[in-house]
Structure 1
Amino acid sequence: MKKEVLTFIKKNQLLRENTTVLVGVSGGPDSMALLHFLSTLQHGWNLKLIAVSVDHQLRGEESLADLEYVKGICDEWGIPFVGTSIDVVSYKKKNGISTEVAARELRYEFFKKQMEIFQADFLALGHHGDDQVETMLMKLSRAASSSSFAGIPVRREFATGNIIRPFLCITKDVLEAYCRKHQIEVRIDPTNYETEYTRNFFRNKVMPLIKEKNSNIHNTVQHLSETLSEDEQFLRKEAEIVVGRIVKFQAGNKLATFDTKLLKNHARALQRRAYHLILNYLYKDLPKDLSYVHEEQFFALLQREEGNVRLDFPSALKLENSYGRMSLYFSDQQTVPNHSYHYTLNIPGKLDLPDGSTITANFVEKNNIQENLSYIFSAEQVTLPLHIRTREPGDRMSWKGLSGSKKLKDILIDAKIPLSERDRWPVVTDDQGEILWLIGLKKGKPKAPWKHGKTIQLYVEKGKT
């Protein structure tokens, strides 16, 4: 066993000489074997070992006795010990979570604190190959994408250093044999044999059947977990580049917008991971009822190129595709920005608009050329001062060649302007409220005829969106 574990440690760079290692010890065969194994390396590697143990107070005096037992063994072996008791039941009720999750969160909170106190380099945990198989089976029973199908990491950053799991390369049977060989007395948690918990169900019901077909399943699954993790890391980094390039976050990361064509230009694998990254930015905590069904809805929405379609996601998140412009935002008023504005435009004068554009007004010669982003008219045709604002209910305008008038709402729809942009589209009016220019789309026909005299030119310079 020692040779196999040392090879695994060196392959994955799990330990270094002259470092401080905390060892999570419960009293069971896995953690007791780990503490003993690391103690055999202590002098050769110059390791400073500290055992840390947690009583979850779920089995009364019995679990407290486990803690005292570990303390006694550490005294016997000359290893410093730090233990604590945590109130899992109260924490579970307060936060509305399962017993397993509550115990894990409190346990790791304690571990983190001890890592910081001792400025430790590693926290070694006794998870073994069977634990890895169980974890992957549990993920398989509920995961709907390869991103979620990940096993227990061999090594990951934590507090002041890294969590390491040197025993993922061997089985529980090997560890139990190790304990017998070295006459290590262990404490057995009787709840391990109950099938109420999901992991115990797989451990006691499923694992024996699988091992009948493949006794080496732990190595097979460990290799699968490692390759999936490597692939996922690469794809996630590529997705982060995609999101950084095409997605614009606003309102404190509560609003995200992007051009659907830019996302669809990438492989589906990157699209999927980009979707999850965007959700991670928007949600403080991912809702429990967010599932693969929502992912499918997102991709169906992504394919829409015409009209406006909106979806409701958990926790008041809205997804809206408006003519190929996707917006994700929360429906409460505190997170949806108010785009309305109303300014007076002096002549000569210049205004910076909220979308980054700039509008300039000047008196000019009549023969200046009309362009898409400029508008020329006689000062005698309008009532000054001019105003620039966002649209209002009932706004209508008329232009040359149109019989009657048309609602601004319909003009914007005909022009396929995304719904999210319509409420901030700039409108120029005179002081009587007559709409002169729906900038970039329609130039109005003033009711008064052109008269010789002062000529006004409005010019818009588009900013970056």
Structure 2
Amino acid sequence: MLTSVIAMIEKYDMLQKGDRVVIGVSGGADSISLLHLLWSLREKYRLQLCAAHLNHGFRGEEADEDARFVESFSSQLGIPCYIRKVDVPQYRQERKVSAQLAAREVRYRFFQDIVREWGANKLALAHNRDDQAETVLLRLIRGAGLDGLCGIPPVRPGEGFVIIRPLLAVSREMIEQYCVENDLNFRTDWSNFKTVYLRNKVRLELLPYLKKEFNSQIDSLLAQTAEMLQDERNYLEQEAEKIFSELVEEVEPKKVKINLAGFKKQPVAIQRRLLRKAVIFLGGNPQDLSFNRMSELLHLIEKGRVGAIGTIKQGLVVCKGYEDFTLGEEETKPKEFFSYPLNLPGTTILPELSLIVEGKLISKSQYLLEKSMVKGGWEAFFDWEKLSLPLIIRNRRAGDRFNPLGMKGTKKLKKFFIDRKIPVQERDKIPLIVSSDGIIWVVGCQQSDLGKVTLETETVLKLKVKPLSDS
């Protein structure tokens, strides 16, 4: 078995010389073998080892004996041992989750604490080939995509350390034989034989039945399948990472904007990964994207109307725009109306949008000079004498109409926004400069015909809108 474990370590580059490794040790055959194996390899890799044992508080005195056994065995090997007892049943009640999930959450938190406290860079866990087969089969029964059917990864990053599983290629039978050959005692957790837990039922009933009736090598074949799928997954993930960086047009702490046309060109397998990446980036859980939820979102992005919104989970949505779609926090605040009189000449602050408006009067000759240097739609010029004062800055209202510069007659502001392909969720954030005669400027978009500068103009009002942070 030692040869198989070394091959696994070398294949996945699990250990480097000088590593500080925390080993999760329950006291069972798997973890005792792992502790003994890494102790045997300590000189080969110049390892510094530490054992970590968590008493989950489920099995009373029996669990206390497990802790004492692990401490004694670690001491015999000259390995420091950290032991902690946690009331997982109480934690389970507080979290309202299953016993297995509660134990897993508490256990991994304990391992993280010990890794940091001891200054380790690796955490070694004792999952074996049988665990891998059970995991793949269990996820297939419950329903899973490619990532789920990859099973348990041999190596994965933790928070500031790396998790390794050197026994993942060896069977439970081989591990127990290793214990016999090396005269290793181990503890038995009798709860592993209770078929009230689905994993135990798969291990004790389903896998033996499949071995007997269908394929005697089913466990090794499932483990091989997981390994092959991991290779496929890794390739798709690399491709998705490159495409994600190409298609993401805007990134904010609470929002990701993705190019719509580019997204639609991708195969569905990549589209799913792009959505999951966006959810992870926003701090969400990709498991919220069930098969049905993912299908609904992909249909919305492909076929939905502009402005359509799909829910990922409460508080996190997808909103389709004209040329892109956005994943971000759902806006739960009611629509804010704002309206401020412009200080002319002078400055006016628009706190709702973190903008500032600067207004000044200039001569016709100065206007001709400055107009040639204007870039973008954030500066505008008006005939001062033609404007009906006071001017105000506000956002849109129902029934607003607008007379775009150079066009005869007016059109609904809503229609103007639609024609400009401005997403619904952005329209309330566009400032409007308004006189008593109507809208004279849709800021960032277009001026009105009202108050336009002509050959007869003598005094020009120059308005400039910019971020408050730039002032």
Q: Check whether the contact 1:366–1:455 (CA below 8 A) recurs between aligned residues.
A: no
Which letter does structure 2 place at the counterpart of 1:304?
A: K
Q: Check whether the contact 1:381–1:451 (CA below 8 A) recurs between aligned residues.
A: no
Q: Check whether the contact 1:317–1:331 (CA below 8 A) recurs between aligned residues.
A: yes
**Structure 1 residues 48 and 423 mapped into 2: Cα distance closer, same or farther (>3 Å)?**
closer
2:321 — aligned with what?
322
Deviation at 1:37, TM superposition (A): 2.6
**Structure 1 residues 360 and 223 mapped into 2: Cα distance closer, same or farther (>3 Å)?**
farther
Deviation at 1:52, TM superposition (A): 2.1
2:416 — aligned with what?
411
Q: Check whether the contact 1:169–1:218 (CA below 8 A) recurs between aligned residues.
A: no
Q: Check whether the contact 2:401–2:439 (CA below 8 A) recurs between aligned residues.
A: yes
Distance in 1 separating the partners of 2:173 and 2:287: 36
**Structure 1 residues 352 and 364 mapped into 2: Cα distance closer, same or farther (>3 Å)?**
farther
1:292 — aligned with what?
291
Say whether residues 1:67 and 2:67 are aligned partners: yes
Alignment of 1:173-212 (within 5 A): 173-212=173-212
Deviation at 1:324, TM superposition (A): 3.9
Overall identity of the aligned pairs, in %: 29
1:258 — aligned with what?
258
Q: Check whether the contact 1:381–1:450 (CA below 8 A) recurs between aligned residues.
A: no
Q: Check whether the contact 1:437–1:443 (CA below 8 A) recurs between aligned residues.
A: yes
Q: Check whether the contact 2:382–2:451 (CA below 8 A) recurs between aligned residues.
A: no
Which letter does structure 2 place at the counterpart of 1:174?
A: M
Say whether residues 1:100 and 2:100 are aligned partners: yes
1:344 — aligned with what?
342
2:398 — aligned with what?
393
Alignment of 1:30-429 (within 5 A): 30-158=30-158, 161-212=161-212, 213-245=214-246, 246-250=248-252, 253-282=253-282, 284-286=283-285, 290-304=289-303, 306-333=305-332, 342=340, 344=342, 346=344, 362-364=362-364, 378-384=383-389, 386-398=391-403, 406-429=411-434
Deviation at 1:113, TM superposition (A): 2.3
1:436 — aligned with what?
440
Distance in 2 separating the partners of 1:52 and 1:285: 30
Deviation at 1:30, TM superposition (A): 1.2
Give the structure-2-normalised TM-score.
0.81
Q: Check whether the contact 1:28–1:189 (CA below 8 A) recurs between aligned residues.
A: yes
Which letter does structure 2 place at the counterpart of 1:106?
A: V
> 1:304-361 CA deviation, whole Å, 9 max, x = no partner?
3754322233213232213344233333546x99696757375699999969999987
**Structure 1 residues 290 and 50 mapped into 2: Cα distance closer, same or farther (>3 Å)?**
same
Deviation at 1:199, TM superposition (A): 1.4
Deviation at 1:144, TM superposition (A): 4.0
Deviation at 1:168, TM superposition (A): 1.0
Distance in 2 separating the partners of 1:183 and 1:290: 48
> 1:357-381 CA deviation, whole Å, 9 max, x = no partner?
9998754369979999687764433
Distance in 2 separating the partners of 1:447 and 1:6: 81
**Structure 1 residues 442 and 26 mapped into 2: Cα distance closer, same or farther (>3 Å)?**
closer
* Structure 2, unpaired ranges of 5+: none
> 1:208-255 CA deviation, whole Å, 9 max, x = no partner?
1333444444444444333433443443344344434424233xx223
Deviation at 1:301, TM superposition (A): 1.2
* Structure 1, unpaired ranges of 5+: none
Which letter does structure 2 place at the counterpart of 1:224?
A: T
Q: Check whether the contact 2:307–2:320 (CA below 8 A) recurs between aligned residues.
A: yes
**Structure 1 residues 436 and 77 mapped into 2: Cα distance closer, same or farther (>3 Å)?**
closer
Distance in 2 separating the partners of 1:121 and 1:451: 75
Distance in 1 separating the partners of 2:37 and 2:454: 95
Give the structure-1-normalised TM-score.
0.82
Which letter does structure 1 place at the counterpart of 2:327?
A: L
> 1:377-426 CA deviation, whole Å, 9 max, x = no partner?
644332245444432334234568756x5432233234443212221234
What secondary structure, in the 3-state scheme, does the structure 2 residue paired with 1:236 have? helix
Deviation at 1:71, TM superposition (A): 2.5
Q: Check whether the contact 2:339–2:392 (CA below 8 A) recurs between aligned residues.
A: no
What secondary structure, in the 3-state scheme, does the structure 2 residue paired with 1:183 have? coil
> 1:272-292 CA deviation, whole Å, 9 max, x = no partner?
21111111233x442875422
What secondary structure, in the 3-state scheme, does the structure 1 residue paired with 2:314 have? helix
Which letter does structure 1 place at the counterpart of 2:439?
A: I
Deviation at 1:61, TM superposition (A): 1.1
**Structure 1 residues 428 and 120 mapped into 2: Cα distance closer, same or farther (>3 Å)?**
closer
Deviates more, 1:419-428 or 1:235-244: 235-244
Distance in 1 separating the partners of 2:18 and 2:3: 21
